[in-house]
């Protein structure tokens, strides 16, 4: 408000001086301001605007996002073992595939620790903590996981170490044939059979496999 008043006063003074002193005084008293205020047009040049196209990266959601790695303590996912149960309860379970069937796998469960929990677990075992994760396997017990459909979605890992969408059947084929063929292709991408996978159990049966990238 103070600035507006000062500008209005300056314009009024310029008009009065212009009327009383003539053109010669305009140059000394800011007469140009008075002329502009009286209606002389001015031209304003605006800087050109540039529109930058935005890019959106879609993050996986649901089971495709994988297990919950971050814990304040203890292993990621649903833990290391279901206790005395003979079947896996619902949840995420990490392990090594020991055998492959037509519609399922046998998994040797492991404890997968990440971040601070991994560093603590490695220290407890007297092991080095690297790559922000630590795996403990103190129990050779295996669990059978069957899938209601081999076309169920899954996550594989390609040779570029990036997770890619696949199906359970791709994972079964990969771990079934690796020893003999060495390579399983998904389109133009070669799949890599990393030692660890996560199996998700929902409603009593397997409904997702997530191959774990382990550098």
**50-76 per-position pLDDT tens digit:** 555 555 668 889 999 999 998 888 999
Question: Is residue 48 in a domain?
Answer: no
Question: Is residue 22 in a domain?
Answer: yes
pLDDT in tens, 74-118: 999 999 999 999 999 999 999 999 999 999 999 999 999 999 999
Count of structural domains, the chain: 2
Measure the CA angle with vertex 89, ends 88 and 92; round to 5°: 85
- Full domain range(s) for residue 25: 2-38
Q: Quick one: 15 and 77 in the same domain?
A: no
Question: Is residue 25 in a domain?
Answer: yes
* Average pLDDT for 162-174: 95
Q: Quick one: 143 and 179 in the same domain?
A: yes
**Dihedral, CA atoms, 143, 144, 145, 147, nearest 10 degrees?**
180
Report the sign of the C-alpha dihedral through residues 87, 92, 98, 101, in that order.
positive
Please tell me the chain's helix, strand, coil percentages from 3-state DSSP, rounded to the nearest 5.
Answer: 30, 30, 40
Q: Quick one: 16 and 97 in the same domain?
A: no
> What does the alpha-carbon distance between residue 138 and residue 98 come to, in Å, rounded to a whole number?
16
Q: Quick one: 34 and 99 in the same domain?
A: no
Grade residue 202 by pLDDT with cuts at 50, 70 and 90: very high
> What does the alpha-carbon distance between residue 99 and residue 112 come to, in Å, rounded to a whole number?
20
């Amino acid at each position: 408000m103070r600035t507006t008043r000062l500008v209005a006063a300056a314009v009024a003074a310029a008009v009065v001086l212009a009327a009383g002193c003539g053109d010669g005084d305009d140059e000394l008293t800011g007469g140009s301001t008075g002329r502009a205020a009286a209606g002389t047009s001015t031209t304003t040049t605006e800087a050109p605007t540039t529109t930058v196209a935005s890019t959106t990266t879609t993050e996986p959601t649901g089971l495709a996002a994988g297990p919950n790695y971050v814990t304040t303590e203890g292993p990621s996912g649903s833990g290391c073992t279901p206790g005395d149960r003979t079947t896996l309860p619902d949840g995420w379970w990490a392990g090594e595939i020991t055998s492959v069937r037509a519609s399922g796998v046998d998994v040797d469960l492991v404890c997968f620790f990440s971040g601070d929990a991994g560093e603590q677990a490695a220290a407890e075992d007297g092991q080095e903590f690297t790559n922000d994760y630590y795996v403990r396997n103190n129990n050779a017990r295996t669990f059978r996981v069957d899938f209601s459909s081999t076309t169920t979605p899954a996550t594989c890992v390609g040779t570029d170490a990036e997770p890619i969408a696949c199906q359970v059947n791709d994972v079964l084929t990969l771990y079934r044939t690796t020893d003999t063929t060495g390579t399983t292709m998904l389109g133009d991408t070669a799949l890599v059979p990393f030692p660890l996978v996560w199996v998700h159990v929902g409603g009593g049966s397997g409904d997702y496999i997530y191959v774990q990238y382990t550098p």
